[in-house]
Amino acid sequence: MKTRVLIAGSAAGYKARLCAALEQAGFTVLTAPEPLFNLEAVVRDLAPDVILIHAESPDRDTLENLAVFHERAPKPVVTICAKAESSLQQQLSHAGFSFYAVDDFSPVLLQSLVQVSLAQFQREQVLRESLACAQAELGDRRDVDRAKCLLMDRYAMKESEAYHHLRRAAMRRAQKLPDFARLVLREENNLDAIAAEMARSLR
């Protein structure tokens, strides 16, 4: 399946050249309506693999719109322009976009830029997902530890005993241990009822 590239924010004089070069490079080319008021809606409707923006100097609203959208629904964004202004590069870099200063729309160059940006984005997605998993695991362990400490403090339990109560009660409810631990923390003011349930789970 061909990579779908959405052209957004390009001046009319450049869009035809970009479309032709991208098609020659083997991409399926999609175009956004101009003026572009709602990039998120366009991306949702057209479902591109990569967003390509050609702009001499994207305005602040456009950059903020892109950054907010990119945070909610990440997509590879390639920005190309003829002039490499350092302030623009910093803005785009902070937003997580690839930036290239080029004035040559050759199919070979565009193919390389799109493929490199797509590969970089995919690597970053893997890293983000790995980080999210690691953070979730840390959060789970933290909540289990907090629930253990609560039981140890309230009922003078040893750590191993508190953990055993939590684990058995979670199994009885067919819940994951971290989920049950969070229930214990939420119901701290009604802990005696939950403790009684945990005691029954050991019978």
Burial of 58 (0-12, 13-18, 19+ CB in 10 A): buried
Count up the domains in the chain and report the number: 2
Residues 93 and 183 in one domain: no
Residues 99 and 159 in one domain: no
Residues 35 and 88 in one domain: yes
Which of 30-39, 137-146, 161-170 has the weakest average pLDDT? 30-39
Instruction: Specify if 35 maps to a domain.
Output: yes
pTM of the model: 0.70
- pLDDT computed for residue 188 by the predictor: 84
pLDDT tens, residue by residue, 19-48: 999 999 999 999 877 766 677 788 888 999
Instruction: Specify if 113 maps to a domain.
Output: no
Reduced to 3 states, what is the DSSP secondary structure of residue 189? helix
Residues 36 and 90 in one domain: yes
- Separation of alpha carbons 170 and 150, rounded Å: 16
Burial letters 109-134, b for 16+ CB under 10 A, else e? ebbebbeebbeebeeeeeeeeeeeee
Is 35:150 a contact under the CB 8 Å cutoff? no
Residues 99 and 152 in one domain: no
- pLDDT computed for residue 186 by the predictor: 92
Instruction: Specify if 174 maps to a domain.
Output: yes
Query: Looking at residue 163, which CATH number applies to its domain?
Result: 1.10.10.10
Residues 97 and 166 in one domain: no
Residues 26 and 100 in one domain: yes
- pLDDT computed for residue 4 by the predictor: 95
Instruction: Specify if 18 maps to a domain.
Output: yes
Residues 138 and 101 in one domain: no
pLDDT tens, residue by residue, 92-137: 777 667 777 777 788 999 999 999 989 988 998 899 899 999 999 9
Query: Looking at residue 35, which CATH number applies to its domain?
Result: 3.40.50.2300
- pLDDT computed for residue 143 by the predictor: 97
Instruction: Specify if 118 maps to a domain.
Output: no
Instruction: Specify if 121 maps to a domain.
Output: no
Residues 23 and 101 in one domain: yes
Is 79:53 a contact under the CB 8 Å cutoff? yes
Phi, then psi, of 84 in degrees rounded to 5 = -100, 75
DSSP classification of residue 28: E
Residues 89 and 30 in one domain: yes
pLDDT tens, residue by residue, 49-97: 999 887 665 556 666 777 777 777 788 888 887 766 666 667 777 766 7
Residues 101 and 139 in one domain: no
State which residues form the domain around 63. Answer: 4-105
Is 31:53 a contact under the CB 8 Å cutoff? no
Residues 91 and 178 in one domain: no
